[in-house]
Structure 1
Amino acid sequence: MRIKWFSLVRITGLVLVLTYHFFQTQFTGGFIGVDIFFTFSGFLITSLMVDEFARSDNFKLMAFYGRRFYRIVPPLFIAVLLVLPLTYLIDHDFVTDIGKQVAAALGFTTNYFEIATGGSYENKFIPHLFVHTWSLAVEMHFYILWGLIAWLVAKISRRLASGRRALTRFRWGLGLLTTAFAIESFVMMYFGAVGLKDFSPVYFSSLTHCFPFFVGGLIGVLSGIKAQGPIYRWTTAHCNPIIAGAVMLISFILLVALGDRMKFDALQTYQGGLLLATVLAGIMIYGARLLHDHTPNLKEPRWMTFLADVSYSVYLYHWPLYVIFSHMMVNWLAALLTTVLSIILSALSYYVLEPVIAGKRAHVFGHTVTWRQLQLPVITAGVLLAVNTGVVVKNAPQLSTLEQNLWVSGIYQDIDKIGTTHEAVLAAVTPKKKQATPKGDQEKAPGVSIIGDSVTLGTRSYLGDHVANSNIDAEGDRTMNLAYKVMMNQQRSHTLRQYVVICIGTNALDDYEEQTMKIIHDLEPGHKLILMTPYNARADADWNSSKLAVLERRLPAKYKFITVADWGKIAAQHPEVFKGTDGVHFGGIRAGDILYAKVINQALTAAKQTPAKPA
């Protein structure tokens, strides 16, 4: 039994996800589309469980697992095989460690693989081609667990009663468990998000992000599909098509508004935002269920059912295709090409390949297609694609060029620190003749102390050779408060040089202004401070990094010892420096090294004309 208007729920989830991935800085909360999918899956699966028990007084666990396997696994395998040949079109860095990505995707462990590797849609140097399959992992974990629980509840219900009483017990059992699991999962996300800078661990985890399934499951228990519950029967008796349609429309509008306002890196997203999206999705599902019963003579448009049919496969294809195309062409064209090709491949998968693989007949433009007809081309193509997958995996680098560059730079920096520490110790124990301390700029050790993050670390070797008399201390994921600690440590050990360059900001936290002012206030007199504005090609004006740049540009008017090295402005004028990168790092691209050093040297030249920090 196909419920009309459920297609709108699926399409809403798909459009939100696609819009988020294509226009991440403009539609920052579209990731809630995944929560719509989760809620709908929980509703549909639980409703079908109730229907099966009402029909047969039983729930067959292995049959349930078999249906889930054929719906999820073949399209995923097909998508992986078809996507990997397209990786030859882009830089080899994009298949870095691709073997582990494929293994995680096909093994339904991508969510925990991404947690372990620090992956995210938002902050990956080179985005993983299959990072989006994290949601399939969470979904599969739900199916395995919930199927087993439902089977146990069915057995207990049959032992305690029979007929309608057994069904009532089955409903109550599932209803209580869905409520308990939903509350437990949300509470784990709520408290697990506290104190996090990167929220990927609570977003990706099956434990903290499974509550939408159980919220949907609770709605499924209450409404059912064929075996309607008493609450649903009462609701539908007091409803009409206008009310049901209004419920769907209002929840849809609120979901879009939420997608426009929510942010991945905001604490409130995990302490209520995702729950609100889940509740709205549940209301939309319930409204669609009511509208189905109140529009018996109205057919769902064919385009709507088509998009709903292919929505799962479109989700599978769109992310890797977009990653590939967005590094080959302008964003709008990449989004358009991704959408069109995803729909074509998904239709081929859903209407042709999946049915024949399952031993069913496929229907293509009025023609019946069987496995016997497609056996040779499908097997041949499958073997060739499988061989290609093996070749891509075998030849994939273990580290991207940027990661290699950061790793090597980190080693050299550690070596330099050992040398600096040795010199400082010798200086401390070697007696010196007392000399009068000159005033002004000469009070501090001559030279430049550069304190930076992963952007600086990536170009450290070049900077050391092209910024005269410089000492560089850079580290990935460094924030302003951590830069403050480095500066104060150098200041206490008397290794902080006259010119202090702070190249921090891409990882700016909410307290960026407070931490910046601490650097300004606690820097000792005699130093000159240079603040390098951050650059992120994806950042909007309301990102912390963008707001930090605005703050830094205003500071020289108040503090004469501060000079701004406006990397944020200069970098934006040279997009070629970031071609094929994440829009932040350019490590390994010589033009980026040259430009970065030039901006610092120009600021140092300008700083020579400014006074040092007064006492």
Structure 2
Amino acid sequence: MRIKWFSFVRIAGLVSVLTYHFFKNAYPGGFIGVDIFFTFSGFLITALMLDEFAKTQRFRLLAFYRRRFYRIVPPLVLSVLVVVPLTYLISPNYITGLGKQIAAAIGFTTNYFEIMTGGSYESKFIPHLFVHTWSLAVEMHFYLIWGLLIAIFTQIIRRFDFDDAKKSRIFRRSVGILSLILTIESFTAMAVGSAGLADFSKVYFSSVTHSFPFFVGALLASFTGIKDIPRAFDRLMARSNVFVVSAELILTFVVLGLLGLRMQFSNRATYTGGILLASLLAALAIMLARILHNCTPNRQEPRWASFIADISYSMYLYHWPLFVIFSQLVSVPWAVVITLAIGVPFSALSYYIIEPMIAGKRPRALHGFSNVRLRGLQQVFVGAAVLLFAVTGYTAYRAPALTGLERQLWIGGIYQSTDQMTTTKNVVMAAVKTPSANGQTPAAPTKAPKGVSIIGDSVTLGTRDYLGKHVADSTIDAQGERTMDLAYNVMMTQQKNHVLRQNVVICIGTNALDGWQQQLDKLIHDLEPGHRLILVTPYDQRANPSWNSSKLADYERTLPAKFKFITIADWQKLAAQHPDVFKGTDGVHFAGRESGDIIYAQAVNDGLKAAAKTPLKK
């Protein structure tokens, strides 16, 4: 039984996710589209379970798993096979660890693979082609656990000495209570687990913390249903007005859209209520669509809506890797067009032809075409699959283990560790060789040593070798993911050990967290007299004025007017003049390109030249 208007719930989820991935800055909360899908899946699966028990007084677990397998796995495998050959169009960086990515996707463990490898849904470096399959992992984990729990419940309830109608009512109530308990537990785990996190990917990816939208949908199913409907909900539908329900449904979609405009992945409020609110709104939309189905017995759902809903799952699979690939070759608008031009036909091919054939059924698209030989069509697809499997296997085997950026950071880290050991040794030896008159360690020097101390993040670490050779008399301490408070700790340690040089260059800000202004003010205040401070403004090609990194850069430019010992090295401005340096990158790092090394060193040296004309801190 197909419920009219459910297609619009699926479409709302798909449009939200696609808009988020295509235009993330314009629609920063579009990731709630995944929660719309989760809530709908929880409702639909649970409603079908309730219908099956009401009709047969049984729930066939293996049949349920088999249906889920045929619906989820073939489109997933096909999308991988289609996408991988297209990776030859772009940099090998984008297939780094491809074999592991594919294994995680097909093994439905991408969510925990990303957690263990330090991946972020916001993707600060080169994005994984199949990172979006984290949601399939969470969904599959829900199916496995929920199916098993339902099977156990049905076996228990079947033993009751009641008539079938009463057993069905007990089963429905039990499902509702269990759904409510699991919703509360999962949501609480996300809300509590998000406390103190700088990156919320751990609670976002985890099946434990992000399964509550499914149970919100399951809870709704226990109150409503598809075929087997409780009397209270049946009476509600009988009293409903088609115009009122239609208006309420449209309004619900509008509120979901506005929520997508307001929510932020990096805001903790998203995890303490935002995602739950999105799930509840999705549940409301599902309920209203179910009521509208009954209110419009003589109306048909538009064919275009049914088509988009049918291909929504496959389109979700194709859109992200295709967009990642083509956005490296053409502008974003054209990448969107190409992604849709390739994704829609392959999604339709998957749903209407290939998936039914794999399940042993006649393809949906061939109904009415009895003259089409199915066996010949199957042979064509098998041949194509063999070829694509060979290409995918070869590509995964030849894929690099590290991206160019990761190699640069790794090498830079080794050089830095060596330099730090040398610096520490020199400090200790100087103290040993220069005792005071009474044999004690000499007093701290009254003047800071001349030269340049550079304290930076992953951008600085990636260009560390070049920077060290082209910034005279400099030492460099850089680390990935370094924030202003961590840079403060490095500066204070060097200051305490009397190795902080006269010119202090702070290359921090891309990873700016809330409280960045207080952190920078503290760094300025605690810098001892005898130093100059050169602040390198952060650059992120993706950033808009609302980002912390943009606000930090604007604030830094106001400081020289207040503090004569502060100078700005405007990397943000200089980098924006050289967009080619960042082509094919994450928009922050330049992946070891010498052209990027040159302009970064130029920004630092320009800042140092300007600083030479300013006084030391008094």
TM-score by length of 2: 0.97
Q: Which residue pairs with 2:113 in the alignment?
A: 113
Equivalent residue runs for 1:43-54 within 5 Å? 43-54=43-54
Q: In the comparison of the two structures, how many residue pairs are matched?
A: 608
Q: Which residue pairs with 2:135 in the alignment?
A: 135
Aligned partners of 2:369 and 2:311: how far apart in 1?
Answer: 19
Q: Which residue pairs with 2:238 in the alignment?
A: 237
> Structure 1 stretch 234-243 or stretch 168-177: which is displaced more?
234-243
- The question of 1:319 aligning with 2:323 is answered no
Q: Which amino acid aligns with 2:529?
A: P
Q: Which residue pairs with 1:523 in the alignment?
A: 527
Contact in 2 for aligned 1:129/1:320 (Cα 8 Å): yes
Shift in Å, 1:433: 8.9
Aligned partners of 2:228 and 2:150: how far apart in 1?
Answer: 16
The match for 2:391 among 381, 388, 391 is 388
Equivalent residue runs for 1:550-561 within 5 Å? 550-561=554-565
> Structure 1 stretch 337-346 or stretch 445-454: which is displaced more?
337-346
Q: Which residue pairs with 2:182 in the alignment?
A: 181
Q: Which amino acid aligns with 1:259?
A: G
Q: Which residue pairs with 1:29 in the alignment?
A: 29
Deviation track 1:369-403 (CA, whole Å, cap 9, x = no partner) reads 55412122111111110011110111001111110
Q: Which residue pairs with 1:437 in the alignment?
A: none
Contact in 2 for aligned 1:6/1:285 (Cα 8 Å): yes
The match for 1:493 among 492, 497, 508 is 497
Secondary structure of the residue that 1:445 maps to in structure 2?
Answer: coil
Shift in Å, 1:428: 1.1
Q: Which residue pairs with 1:467 in the alignment?
A: 471
Shift in Å, 1:231: 2.9
Aligned partners of 1:613 and 1:371: how far apart in 2?
Answer: 82
Shift in Å, 1:539: 0.9
Q: Which residue pairs with 1:272 in the alignment?
A: 273
Deviation track 1:497-528 (CA, whole Å, cap 9, x = no partner) reads 00000000000010100000011100011100
Aligned partners of 2:591 and 2:102: how far apart in 1?
Answer: 26
Aligned partners of 1:371 and 1:182: how far apart in 2?
Answer: 46
Aligned partners of 1:214 and 1:21: how far apart in 2?
Answer: 26
Shift in Å, 1:367: 2.9
Q: Which residue pairs with 2:612 in the alignment?
A: 608
What RMSD, in angstroms, separates the aligned Cα atoms of the two structures? 1.3
Structure 1 unmatched ranges of 5 or more: 435-440
Shift in Å, 1:432: 7.0
Secondary structure of the residue that 1:443 maps to in structure 2?
Answer: coil
Aligned partners of 2:610 and 2:124: how far apart in 1?
Answer: 35
Q: Which residue pairs with 1:367 in the alignment?
A: 369
Q: Which residue pairs with 2:219 in the alignment?
A: 218
Contact in 2 for aligned 1:357/1:371 (Cα 8 Å): no
Shift in Å, 1:267: 0.2
Aligned partners of 2:201 and 2:377: how far apart in 1?
Answer: 42
- The question of 1:575 aligning with 2:579 is answered yes
Q: Which amino acid aligns with 1:475?
A: Q
The match for 2:506 among 495, 502, 505 is 502
Contact in 2 for aligned 1:247/1:283 (Cα 8 Å): no
Shift in Å, 1:253: 0.5
Q: Which residue pairs with 2:146 in the alignment?
A: 146
Contact in 2 for aligned 1:352/1:362 (Cα 8 Å): yes
Aligned partners of 1:349 and 1:283: how far apart in 2?
Answer: 31
Aligned partners of 1:2 and 1:375: how far apart in 2?
Answer: 28
Contact in 1 for aligned 2:538/2:553 (Cα 8 Å): yes
Q: Which residue pairs with 1:438 in the alignment?
A: none
Contact in 2 for aligned 1:356/1:370 (Cα 8 Å): no
Contact in 2 for aligned 1:262/1:269 (Cα 8 Å): yes
Aligned partners of 1:571 and 1:301: how far apart in 2?
Answer: 49
Aligned partners of 1:271 and 1:326: how far apart in 2?
Answer: 33
Aligned partners of 2:611 and 2:590: how far apart in 1?
Answer: 26
Contact in 1 for aligned 2:356/2:364 (Cα 8 Å): no
Q: Which residue pairs with 2:418 in the alignment?
A: 415
Q: Which amino acid aligns with 1:172?
A: R
Q: Which residue pairs with 2:80 in the alignment?
A: 80
Q: Which residue pairs with 2:250 in the alignment?
A: 249
Secondary structure of the residue that 1:121 maps to in structure 2?
Answer: coil
> Structure 1 stretch 223-232 or stretch 190-199: which is displaced more?
223-232
Aligned partners of 1:110 and 1:131: how far apart in 2?
Answer: 7
Deviation track 1:259-314 (CA, whole Å, cap 9, x = no partner) reads 01100010000000000000000000000000000000000010000000000000
Secondary structure of the residue that 1:610 maps to in structure 2?
Answer: coil
Aligned partners of 1:551 and 1:123: how far apart in 2?
Answer: 26
Equivalent residue runs for 1:255-294 within 5 Å? 255-294=256-295
Shift in Å, 1:233: 1.2
Aligned partners of 2:203 and 2:616: how far apart in 1?
Answer: 46
Deviation track 1:423-452 (CA, whole Å, cap 9, x = no partner) reads 011111222799xxxxxx993211000000
Deviation track 1:128-177 (CA, whole Å, cap 9, x = no partner) reads 00000000000000001111111111111111133101101110111110
